[in-house]
Structure 1
Amino acid sequence: MTQDRLTDYAVTLLRVSLGVMYLAHSIVLKLFTFGLAGTAGYFESISLPGWLAYVTFAAETVGGVMLVLGIYARWAAVALIPALLGAIIWAHAGNGWVFNAPNGGWEYPLYLIVLSISQLLLGDGRYALRSSPAFR
């Protein structure tokens, strides 16, 4: 197996796993665990408008699907970074490091930002359905 083939697999693995994580946070956590109304209530409890929960849910769901399928994945990954920055600033920054802190720590959203930036830099990969334009 050549290094190019291994790189193709690695980029695809990153893209799909990152997409699954965004889908888990939108569908499993926000929709099925807390419900969208409950998520909106949480957003309001941390001084964010409730409607932003619905926008965040939609962005994470659409972006997650785009990543899994490989549809303009590099741009989908980077477009989701503001939601992660918001999660760090408004929800997790005061909780410290480590996700087992009450209300979760800030390391996991930061890690997803790093993975999203890596996806931006690596591109969509050979097995993407619709590749983003390359950097020039």
Structure 2
Amino acid sequence: MIEDRFAPYAATLLRLSLGVMLLAHGLMKVFVFTIPGTVGFFGKLGFPAALAYGTIAIEIIGGLMLIAGLFSRWVALAAIPVLIGATWVHLGNGWVFSAAGGGWEFPAFWTVVLAVQALLGDGAYALRPNLRSGRPAGLATTG
């Protein structure tokens, strides 16, 4: 028999970790690289400026939504293309992310983990299922 009583907590830990990581990367694009710098970088890669703004929005808003447990499946699915793009950008730098320019293993792994979150849903202590039911935060596991 598979032990699954801790699965909602595992999904929550993953959701919170992903939310913090997305939020940190989005805020880094705003406060460290700056929005004009991020837009310029995307332009150097051949991407339209709108993609930079969309990426920042997904990372900041999506990160906050994951932390809160709001629409976790959809947020994770929305973030996957961002990480596929990051993987593609780093592909020529080699495998290890410590390589010059950053390798592709970290964004590739992050892509897979987002897919896992999309499959798992919100986990425990998510805000969204409790908004629907009117129950206090607890072991809601729908996503």
The aligned counterpart of 2:74 is: 75
Query: What is the CA distance between 1:47 and its match in structure 2?
Result: 1.0
Whichever residue aligns with residue 65 of structure 1, its letter is: L
Computing the radius of gyration over CA atoms, which structure comes out larger, 1 or 2? 2
TM score, norm. by length of structure 2: 0.84
Query: What is the CA distance between 1:134 and its match in structure 2?
Result: 5.6
Query: What is the CA distance between 1:5 and its match in structure 2?
Result: 4.4
**d(CA) in 1 for partners of 2:76, 2:119:** 10
**d(CA) in 2 for partners of 1:30, 1:59:** 12
Give the alignment partner of residue 116 of structure 1, picking from 114, 122, 125. Answer: 114
What are structure 1's unaligned runs of at least 5 residues? none
The aligned counterpart of 1:16 is: 16
Query: What is the CA distance between 1:109 and its match in structure 2?
Result: 0.8
Query: What is the CA distance between 1:100 and its match in structure 2?
Result: 1.1
Deviations 1:26-71 (A, max 9, x none): 00x2011110100111111111112321111011111111110000
Misfit runs of 4+, over 6 Å: none
Whichever residue aligns with residue 110 of structure 2, its letter is: L
Aligned CA RMSD, in angstroms, stands at 1.9
TM score, norm. by length of structure 1: 0.88
**d(CA) in 2 for partners of 1:16, 1:83:** 18
Percent identity over paired residues: 52
The aligned counterpart of 2:95 is: 97
Are the equivalent residues in 1 in contact too, given 2:122–2:142 (CA < 8 A)? no
Three-state SS of the structure 1 residue aligned to 2:6 is helix
Give the total of aligned pairs. Answer: 131
Query: Quick one: structure 1 residues 74 and 9, their matched pair in 2 at CA, closer, same or farther if it must change by over 3 Å?
Result: same
